[in-house]
Amino acid sequence: MEKIVIKGGNALHGTVGVSGMKNAALPVLFACILVKDKCVIENVPDVRDVAVTLEILSKMGAVVRRINKNSVCVDCTHLKGGTSDYELVRKIRASYYLLGAELGRFHRAHVGMPGGCNFGVRPIDQHIKGFEALGGRVDCGSGYVDVDATESLHGAGIYFDVVSVGATINIMLSAVLAEGTTTIDNAAKEPHIVDVANFLNTCGADIRGAGTDMIKINGVSSLHGCSYAIIPDMIEAGTFMACAAVAGGEIRVQNVIPKHMESITAKMREMNVEIEEGDDYLIVRSDGNLTPTSLKTLPYPGFPTDMHPQMSVLMCRATGISYVREGVFDNRFRYVEELARMGARIKVDGKTAIIEGGVHLTGAKVTSVDLRAGAALIIAALAATGKTEITEINRIERGYDNIVGKLKELGADIRKMYQPDDASMDIAN
């Protein structure tokens, strides 16, 4: 079993390079299904969810060639629809993009139900609403979602009852080659929505308004291959900012788009973290003395839910009581019980966490219950007294490219260890 071992107390110094955004790379890779040509995708993070995605595509008949650690060439010319591997699909949430891509190219889709982090119920009713508006007949059963629009896949006006990243992207994928025009009203506005639209437009699509709450898609007859670089990961960047805020020190977070970080930067500044903005970097300084604040997670440009657990750790160290209201998912509080093992005092009341500050965090044996919960444990361990051992680190590696190596470079006492039964040995990073 692999685990991450951290001895707390080291301040962080130096430069960390942010990788490409996981939640943009995954839909872009699945969008390659719409292109009967070679697509070269660069700045792809080397994370488990990308590896699973490439394996799914390869098993469906795509030709996948890794050019280097962060670039890949994908040719879906001979890919066969409806053939995705059920067990691989259920490993990741983003596999639901197979539905939109298969429907867009083959006018039908046959995909196992998606997996992903457990935040309570994660329905796909808005995805289904969109597929049906475009002419699809949807059946869910036996672990699969089937969509059939072989009669006619046509443009439509769609209004989303809930702002949904996944549904917005899935309807873009479904509509880009459909007859006529599709409008998506109440669309999600995340930077990764814009990235997927930019990729598709680079391949010859006609998508306008991505990044606003109204997206218009004029169907085109075909798409051609292209080269495309994924945007930097604002959540990875925010996670490293949180590491420095809690551990103290001064770091330069390189390869960011400051505009994407606005809500994260604003909230950390409220907590007495000093942040200097450059064109493509942020300099983060902290003496570890943080002031309390309150925040509510919301769809972009609101504060991102994927930074909720990380910010809770800053609040544990603040000099007073803070509040986090989870405004996106039903239950994103599973991280609380693991932080409590390290001394955190967090009470959950409905969708709000009440976080007592001034807490002295202590090292402990803890488990990463999901991707961002695991990131929060790493942040807490950096400031905790003593040694912390984090297991289930595969969940962290789903979305962070070499987080152990990057933190070690910044001066953290952190290593990845392999523990067969009782013995433990270091893993070279």
In the complex, which residues of this chain contact ligand EPZ (CB under 6 A)?
Answer: 23, 26, 93-94, 117, 122-127, 162, 164-167, 188, 305-306, 328-329, 371-372, 399
Using the minimum distance from each CB to ligand EPZ, give the nearer residue, 121 or 423.
121
CA–CA distance, 384 with 8 (Å, rounded to integer)? 5
- Select 188 or 314, whichever has its Cβ closest to ligand EPZ: 188
For residue 27, the minimal CB distance to ligand EPZ (Å) is 7
What DSSP letter does each residue of 376-407 carry, written as one string? Answer: HHHHHHHHSBSEEEEE-TTTTTTT-SSHHHHH
Q: What angle do CA 146, 99, 26 make, to 5 degrees?
A: 150
When the beta carbons of 228 and 303 are compared against ligand EPZ, the nearer one is: 303
Residue of closest CB approach to ligand EPZ: 166
Residue 117 annotated in active site: yes
Q: Minimal distance in Å, beta carbon 200 to ligand EPZ?
A: 16
The minimum distance between CB 367 and ligand EPZ, in angstroms, equals 17
Angle at 190 between CA 188 and CA 191, to 5 degrees: 145
Cα–Cα nearest to 182, from 104, 123, 262 = 104
As measured in angstroms, the least distance from the Cβ of 372 to ligand EPZ is 5
* 342-376 burial code (b ≥16 CB/10 A, e <16): bbbebeeeebbbebbbebebbbbebbbbbbbbbbb
Note the residue count of the chain: 429
Catalytic residue among 39, 76, 117, 243: 117
State the minimum distance, in angstroms, from the CB of residue 312 to ligand EPZ: 14
Q: Which amino acid is at 34?
A: L
Query: What minimum distance in Å lies between the beta carbon of 39 and ligand EPZ?
Result: 19
**DSSP secondary structure code for residue 27 in this structure:** H
- H/E segment holding residue 217: strand 214-218
Q: What are phi and psi of 364, to 5 degrees?
A: -160, 170
Q: What are the helix (H) ranges across 204-248?
A: 234-247
Q: What one-letter code names the amino acid at 173? A: L
d(CA 82, CA 145): 10
- Could you tell me the smallest distance in angstroms from the CB atom of residue 249 to ligand EPZ? 26
Please give the Cα distance from 289 to 285 (Å, whole number): 11
Residue placing its CB nearer to ligand EPZ in the complex, 95 or 286? 95
> 187 or 284, CB closer to ligand EPZ?
187
E-assigned strands of 255-364? 274-277, 281-286, 294-296, 322-325, 346-349, 352-355
Check if the beta carbon of residue 71 is closer than 8 Å to that of residue 41: yes
Nearer to ligand EPZ, 5 or 215 (CB): 215
Which residue, 122 or 216, has its beta carbon nearer to ligand EPZ?
122
Nearest to 183 by CA among 202, 203, 210, 147: 210
> How far, in Å, CA of 327 to CA of 351, rounded?
7
Q: At what angle do helices 97-106 and 125-133 cross, to 10 degrees?
A: 10
Active site residues: 117
